[in-house]
Amino acid sequence: MPKQIMRNPAAALQNMVIARDVLAARGVRLSLAFGTLLGALRERNFIAHDDDVDVLVLPGDEAAFLAAFSELEARGLEFLEKLEEPRVYSFVRKGEQIDFFVARECRYGLLRRRGWDLDGRESIPYRHLRELDTLEFLGEKFHVPSDPYGVVRNLYGRTWDIPIAGRPARIDNLVRLRKVAAHPQKALFYLLRFTSMRLKWAGFARKARARSRSNGEGGRE
Protein backbone atom coordinates (compact mmCIF):
# COMPACT_ATOMS: atom_id res chain seq x y z
CA MET A 1 0.00 0.00 0.00
CA PRO A 2 1.51 3.38 -0.99
CA LYS A 3 2.25 5.76 1.86
CA GLN A 4 0.29 9.00 2.18
CA ILE A 5 1.75 12.47 2.31
CA MET A 6 2.63 13.43 5.88
CA ARG A 7 -0.56 14.71 7.51
CA ASN A 8 0.59 15.27 11.09
CA PRO A 9 4.07 16.83 11.24
CA ALA A 10 3.73 17.38 15.00
CA ALA A 11 3.27 13.64 15.52
CA ALA A 12 6.18 12.90 13.16
CA LEU A 13 8.41 15.15 15.26
CA GLN A 14 7.19 13.45 18.44
CA ASN A 15 8.08 10.09 16.90
CA MET A 16 11.60 11.32 16.21
CA VAL A 17 12.00 12.56 19.79
CA ILE A 18 10.70 9.28 21.25
CA ALA A 19 13.06 7.25 19.06
CA ARG A 20 16.01 9.53 19.83
CA ASP A 21 15.49 9.42 23.59
CA VAL A 22 14.73 5.71 23.88
CA LEU A 23 17.74 4.74 21.79
CA ALA A 24 20.09 7.32 23.32
CA ALA A 25 19.51 5.64 26.69
CA ARG A 26 20.97 2.49 25.11
CA GLY A 27 23.93 4.29 23.56
CA VAL A 28 22.43 4.36 20.05
CA ARG A 29 22.83 7.61 18.12
CA LEU A 30 20.32 8.16 15.34
CA SER A 31 21.17 10.36 12.37
CA LEU A 32 18.66 12.17 10.19
CA ALA A 33 18.72 10.82 6.64
CA PHE A 34 17.31 11.21 3.13
CA GLY A 35 14.28 13.52 2.84
CA THR A 36 14.20 14.27 6.56
CA LEU A 37 17.80 15.50 6.46
CA LEU A 38 17.15 17.40 3.24
CA GLY A 39 14.12 19.15 4.75
CA ALA A 40 15.99 19.98 7.96
CA LEU A 41 18.73 21.72 5.96
CA ARG A 42 16.70 23.30 3.17
CA GLU A 43 13.24 24.08 4.57
CA ARG A 44 14.16 23.94 8.27
CA ASN A 45 11.04 21.80 8.37
CA PHE A 46 9.62 18.62 6.90
CA ILE A 47 9.39 18.60 3.10
CA ALA A 48 5.80 19.34 2.11
CA HIS A 49 5.51 16.34 -0.21
CA ASP A 50 7.37 13.86 2.05
CA ASP A 51 5.53 10.84 3.43
CA ASP A 52 7.63 9.63 6.35
CA VAL A 53 10.63 10.22 8.61
CA ASP A 54 14.00 8.71 7.67
CA VAL A 55 16.75 8.04 10.21
CA LEU A 56 19.98 6.06 10.13
CA VAL A 57 21.32 3.49 12.56
CA LEU A 58 25.04 2.74 12.43
CA PRO A 59 25.89 -0.96 11.94
CA GLY A 60 27.60 -1.28 15.30
CA ASP A 61 24.40 -0.12 17.01
CA GLU A 62 21.99 -2.52 15.32
CA ALA A 63 21.95 -5.05 18.18
CA ALA A 64 21.18 -2.35 20.76
CA PHE A 65 18.53 -0.95 18.42
CA LEU A 66 16.84 -4.35 18.12
CA ALA A 67 16.92 -4.77 21.89
CA ALA A 68 14.95 -1.52 22.22
CA PHE A 69 11.95 -2.69 20.19
CA SER A 70 9.75 -3.46 23.20
CA GLU A 71 10.46 -0.06 24.73
CA LEU A 72 9.77 1.73 21.45
CA GLU A 73 6.44 -0.08 21.22
CA ALA A 74 5.67 0.74 24.85
CA ARG A 75 6.10 4.41 23.90
CA GLY A 76 3.54 4.02 21.12
CA LEU A 77 5.73 3.24 18.10
CA GLU A 78 4.08 0.22 16.50
CA PHE A 79 6.42 -2.04 14.52
CA LEU A 80 5.23 -2.41 10.91
CA GLU A 81 7.79 -4.42 8.98
CA LYS A 82 11.42 -5.22 8.32
CA LEU A 83 12.88 -5.24 4.85
CA GLU A 84 16.13 -7.08 4.20
CA GLU A 85 17.12 -5.07 1.14
CA PRO A 86 17.22 -2.25 1.94
CA ARG A 87 17.78 -3.13 5.58
CA VAL A 88 15.08 -0.97 7.10
CA TYR A 89 12.75 -1.27 10.08
CA SER A 90 9.48 0.66 9.88
CA PHE A 91 7.34 1.87 12.78
CA VAL A 92 4.19 3.98 12.92
CA ARG A 93 2.54 6.14 15.56
CA LYS A 94 -0.47 8.44 15.17
CA GLY A 95 -0.53 7.62 11.46
CA GLU A 96 3.03 8.80 10.80
CA GLN A 97 5.75 6.37 9.72
CA ILE A 98 9.39 6.44 10.75
CA ASP A 99 11.91 4.27 8.88
CA PHE A 100 15.17 3.18 10.53
CA PHE A 101 17.79 2.42 7.86
CA VAL A 102 20.81 0.39 9.00
CA ALA A 103 23.91 1.67 7.21
CA ARG A 104 26.51 -0.77 5.93
CA GLU A 105 30.17 -0.18 5.17
CA CYS A 106 30.82 -0.68 1.47
CA ARG A 107 32.94 0.10 -1.56
CA TYR A 108 30.93 2.22 -3.95
CA GLY A 109 31.15 4.02 -7.24
CA LEU A 110 33.26 3.17 -10.25
CA LEU A 111 36.42 3.94 -8.25
CA ARG A 112 35.32 1.59 -5.44
CA ARG A 113 35.73 4.21 -2.74
CA ARG A 114 35.17 3.39 0.91
CA GLY A 115 31.74 4.49 2.04
CA TRP A 116 28.39 3.67 3.56
CA ASP A 117 25.58 1.87 1.78
CA LEU A 118 22.44 3.53 3.10
CA ASP A 119 19.67 1.49 1.54
CA GLY A 120 21.07 -0.80 -1.13
CA ARG A 121 20.98 1.91 -3.81
CA GLU A 122 22.49 5.11 -2.40
CA SER A 123 25.95 5.40 -0.88
CA ILE A 124 27.93 8.24 0.70
CA PRO A 125 31.65 8.68 1.48
CA TYR A 126 32.94 7.06 4.66
CA ARG A 127 33.87 10.34 6.34
CA HIS A 128 30.24 11.41 6.72
CA LEU A 129 29.34 8.75 9.30
CA ARG A 130 32.74 8.32 10.92
CA GLU A 131 31.60 11.07 13.30
CA LEU A 132 28.18 12.70 13.71
CA ASP A 133 27.27 16.37 14.09
CA THR A 134 24.27 17.88 15.86
CA LEU A 135 21.56 20.01 14.25
CA GLU A 136 18.60 21.84 15.74
CA PHE A 137 15.40 20.92 13.96
CA LEU A 138 11.99 22.33 14.96
CA GLY A 139 13.23 23.12 18.44
CA GLU A 140 14.86 19.71 19.04
CA LYS A 141 18.45 18.58 18.61
CA PHE A 142 19.24 15.56 16.44
CA HIS A 143 22.38 13.94 15.13
CA VAL A 144 23.22 14.38 11.46
CA PRO A 145 26.16 13.12 9.36
CA SER A 146 29.30 15.23 9.51
CA ASP A 147 29.22 17.84 6.73
CA PRO A 148 25.46 17.32 6.23
CA TYR A 149 25.37 19.72 3.29
CA GLY A 150 27.96 17.56 1.55
CA VAL A 151 25.72 14.55 2.15
CA VAL A 152 22.65 16.11 0.54
CA ARG A 153 24.74 17.33 -2.41
CA ASN A 154 26.01 13.77 -2.78
CA LEU A 155 22.50 12.28 -2.58
CA TYR A 156 20.48 14.87 -4.52
CA GLY A 157 23.02 16.63 -6.73
CA ARG A 158 23.75 20.31 -7.23
CA THR A 159 20.04 21.18 -7.27
CA TRP A 160 19.51 19.82 -3.75
CA ASP A 161 18.47 23.30 -2.59
CA ILE A 162 15.56 23.47 -5.07
CA PRO A 163 12.34 21.67 -4.02
CA ILE A 164 11.41 19.17 -6.75
CA ALA A 165 8.48 16.87 -5.96
CA GLY A 166 9.23 13.25 -6.76
CA ARG A 167 12.99 13.82 -6.95
CA PRO A 168 14.58 10.75 -5.33
CA ALA A 169 18.10 10.40 -4.03
CA ARG A 170 20.61 9.47 -6.72
CA ILE A 171 21.37 5.81 -7.30
CA ASP A 172 24.95 4.50 -7.14
CA ASN A 173 26.33 3.96 -10.66
CA LEU A 174 27.36 0.39 -9.84
CA VAL A 175 23.76 -0.38 -8.89
CA ARG A 176 22.66 0.97 -12.28
CA LEU A 177 25.26 -1.13 -14.09
CA ARG A 178 24.23 -4.29 -12.24
CA LYS A 179 20.60 -3.60 -13.15
CA VAL A 180 21.48 -3.21 -16.83
CA ALA A 181 23.64 -6.35 -16.73
CA ALA A 182 20.74 -8.31 -15.27
CA HIS A 183 18.33 -7.01 -17.93
CA PRO A 184 20.41 -6.07 -21.02
CA GLN A 185 17.31 -6.07 -23.21
CA LYS A 186 16.06 -3.07 -21.21
CA ALA A 187 19.27 -1.05 -21.47
CA LEU A 188 17.81 1.43 -23.97
CA PHE A 189 14.68 1.84 -21.88
CA TYR A 190 16.75 2.54 -18.74
CA LEU A 191 18.90 5.06 -20.61
CA LEU A 192 15.92 6.92 -22.06
CA ARG A 193 14.13 7.01 -18.72
CA PHE A 194 17.24 8.24 -16.91
CA THR A 195 17.89 10.93 -19.54
CA SER A 196 14.27 12.15 -19.62
CA MET A 197 14.09 12.44 -15.84
CA ARG A 198 17.41 14.29 -15.66
CA LEU A 199 16.22 16.74 -18.33
CA LYS A 200 12.92 17.21 -16.50
CA TRP A 201 14.64 17.94 -13.18
CA ALA A 202 17.19 20.24 -14.83
CA GLY A 203 14.40 22.21 -16.51
CA PHE A 204 12.53 22.53 -13.24
CA ALA A 205 15.70 23.72 -11.50
CA ARG A 206 16.39 26.36 -14.19
CA LYS A 207 12.87 27.76 -13.86
CA ALA A 208 13.08 27.77 -10.06
CA ARG A 209 16.43 29.60 -10.12
CA ALA A 210 15.08 32.13 -12.63
CA ARG A 211 12.07 32.80 -10.38
CA SER A 212 14.38 33.16 -7.40
CA ARG A 213 16.59 35.68 -9.22
CA SER A 214 13.53 37.61 -10.38
CA ASN A 215 12.10 37.75 -6.88
CA GLY A 216 15.46 38.80 -5.48
CA GLU A 217 15.83 41.61 -7.98
CA GLY A 218 12.28 42.74 -7.30
CA GLY A 219 12.94 42.79 -3.58
CA ARG A 220 15.95 45.10 -4.03
CA GLU A 221 14.08 47.72 -6.02
Q: What is the pLDDT of residue 118?
A: 93
Cα 37 to Cα 3, 32, 45, 117, 191, distances in angstroms: 19, 5, 9, 16, 29
pLDDT of residue 207: 64
Pairing outcome for strands 132-137 and 140-145: antiparallel
Q: What is the pLDDT of residue 125?
A: 95
pLDDT for the residue 171: 43
pLDDT tens across 33-81, in order?
A: 999 999 999 999 999 888 899 999 999 999 999 999 999 999 999 999 9
- Position 175 scores a pLDDT of 46
- Give me the pLDDT at residue 219, please: 34
- Tell me the three state secondary structure of residue 119: coil
pLDDT at 187: 59
Predicted pLDDT of residue 144:
98
pLDDT for res 48: 86
pTM of this prediction exceeds 0.85: no
Q: How far apart are CA 109 and CA 104, in angstroms?
A: 15
Q: What was the pLDDT predicted at 139?
A: 97
Q: Residue 93 in 3-state DSSP? A: strand
Task: Report all structural domains of the chain as residue ranges with CATH numbers, in order of start.
Answer: 9-182 (3.30.460)
Intervals of the chain under pLDDT 70: 1-4, 164-183, 185-221
pLDDT of residue 11: 97
- Please report the pLDDT score of residue 108 as a whole number: 83
Q: Which residue, 24, 51, 69, 47, is CA-closest to 156?
A: 47
Give the burial class of 108: count Cβ atoms within 10 A of its Cβ; 0-12 exposed, 13-18 middle, 19 or more buried.
buried
Supply the pLDDT for residue 168.
Answer: 54
